[in-house]
């Protein structure tokens, strides 16, 4: 639990900069529209305040977690114990520079990944088309090596700037992050991504625009974008597709409380209205059990659980 003294320390650190709240309702900050209150909710105004926050939390031995734009998480109905640091940055814009035949973009971790990708595509830069519809922040995308339609973060990421658990700043080449399918070493290393550098190629604007429009149409056609969700719920098991397994198990439209396996795409669990974290977790457990019983395949959730 956060003590009154610790609340005062954090309050003094934030003052009139950044956002400092207690008992912040998390349903308002997640795309699932689910979750109880965060005991302590912080949104740093800049990297300096973020680094000071991390150092204070370390010195006080306080429990803390990170949230981007809440697109790949499920928050407990009881809420989040300790401190939640919200990294969403709606004002940042990429900084571009040209070196040889590459264009490098430096982006803050809290910037929308789809916003960055669209900006790059609008400038006629290729290689980020796949990300124009991926919800989430740049930092969150890097942590899980986000991808879609044949593209992944690892394809164009060159370097990340991080804070360590001690508040130390490091610049790490992308190849040292061991990026693979929905994995990086960032969480286990205790790193907090603050910025990233991507490398892209100049391309034909009309070709790039056509690709973006094609992918956008495919998303609208195949994904249940009209309902709150956390995106794709399960990782792709090797040799299979999660949605196909769930459909073949007869679970299309399967419902627990307000949570449902999407009838449009069985790889998505949606909030049909009033769903709780308990509903979603029970549904995920049922899907895992039934798919394993029928096909011997273990489905691993892609969504992260925060409590």
Give the side-chain half-sphere CA count within 13 A for 4: 0
In this structure, the strands spanning 80-86 and 37-43 are: parallel
Which one-letter DSSP state was computed for residue 191? -
In this structure, the strands spanning 157-163 and 80-86 are: unpaired
CA 63 to chain centre: 20
Q: How far apart are the first and last CA of the chain?
A: 13
Q: Quick check: is 232 catalytic?
A: yes
Catalytic residue among 114, 184, 232, 262: 232
Q: Quick check: is 184 catalytic?
A: no
Q: Quick check: is 302 catalytic?
A: yes
231: left (phi over 0), alpha (psi -120 to 50) or beta: left
Q: Which helix (H) or strand (E) holds 4?
A: helix 4-14
Buried residues in 175-187 as b, exposed as e (16+ CB within 10 A)? eebebeebebebe
Chain position carrying tokens 């004002």: 91
Catalytic residue among 21, 33, 55, 182: 182
**Catalytic residue IDs:** 182, 232, 302
């Amino acid at each position: 639990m956060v003590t009154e003294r610790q609340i005062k320390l954090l309050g003094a650190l934030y003052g009139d900069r950044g956002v400092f709240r207690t008992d912040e309702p998390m349903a308002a900050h997640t795309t699932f529209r689910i979750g109880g209150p965060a005991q302590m909710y912080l949104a740093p105004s800049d990297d300096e305040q973020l680094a000071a926050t991390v150092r204070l939390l370390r010195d006080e031995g306080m429990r803390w977690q990170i949230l981007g734009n809440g697109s790949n998480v499920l928050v407990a109905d009881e809420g989040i114990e300790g401190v939640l640091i919200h990294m969403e940055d709606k004002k940042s814009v990429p900084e571009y520079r040209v070196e040889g035949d590459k264009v490098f973009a430096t982006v803050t971790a809290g910037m929308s990944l789809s916003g960055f990708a669209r900006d790059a595509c609008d400038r006629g830069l290729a290689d980020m088309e796949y990300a124009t519809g991926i919800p989430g922040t740049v930092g969150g995308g890097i942590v899980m090596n986000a991808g879609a339609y044949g593209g992944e973060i690892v394809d164009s990421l060159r370097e990340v700037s991080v804070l360590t658990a001690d508040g130390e700043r490091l610049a790490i080449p992308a190849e040292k992050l061991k990026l693979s399918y929905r994995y990086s070493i960032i969480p286990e290393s205790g790193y907090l991504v603050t910025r990233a550098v991507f490398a892209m190629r100049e391309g034909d604007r009309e070709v790039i625009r056509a690709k973006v429009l094609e992918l956008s149409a495919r998303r609208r056609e195949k994904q249940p974008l009209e309902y709150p969700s956390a995106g794709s719920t399960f990782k792709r098991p090797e040799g299979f597709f999660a949605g196909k397994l769930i459909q073949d198990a007869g679970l299309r439209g399967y419902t627990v409380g307000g949570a449902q396996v999407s009838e449009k795409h069985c790889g998505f669990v949606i909030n049909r209205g009033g769903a709780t974290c308990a509903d979603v977790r029970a549904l995920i457990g049922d899907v895992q059990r039934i798919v394993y019983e029928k096909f011997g395949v273990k489905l691993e959730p892609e969504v992260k659980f925060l409590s």
